[in-house]
Amino acid sequence: MKEFLKYFLQGLLLFIPLIITLLVLMKLFDFFAGLFSFVGISNSTFVNTSLGLIVTIGFIAILGVLASSFVFKQFFNFFEDKLEHAPFIRHIYSPIKDFTNAFVGNKKRFNKPVFVTTNIEAKVEEIGFITNHDLSHLGEMDKVAVYIPLSYSLSGRLIMVPKESLKPINADAAEVMKFIVSGGVSDVD
pLDDT in tens, 81-97: 877 777 777 777 777 67
The stretch 163-181 carries a mean pLDDT of 85
Pick from 165, 124, 156, 129: nearest CA to 145: 129
Is the pLDDT assigned to residue 76 strictly greater than 90?
no
Is the pLDDT assigned to residue 114 strictly greater than 90?
yes
Cβ-in-10-Å burial (0-12, 13-18, 19+) of 46 comes to exposed
Half-sphere exposure of residue 170, counting CA atoms within 13 Å on the CB side? 0
Confidence of residue 125 (pLDDT cuts 50, 70, 90): very high
What pLDDT does 99 receive? 64
Confidence of residue 50 (pLDDT cuts 50, 70, 90): confident
Q: Between 18 and 130, whose confidence is greater?
A: 130
What pLDDT does 173 receive? 81
pTM: 0.50
Is the pLDDT assigned to residue 115 strictly greater than 60?
yes
Task: Give 140-166 pLDDT, tens digit per residue.
Answer: 888 999 988 887 766 788 889 998 889
Measured CA to CA, the distance from residue 123 to residue 106 in angstroms comes to 35
Is the pLDDT assigned to residue 59 strictly greater than 90?
no
Pick from 66, 85, 88, 86: nearest CA to 75: 66
Range with the largest mean pLDDT of 1-10, 22-31, 142-151, 176-185: 142-151
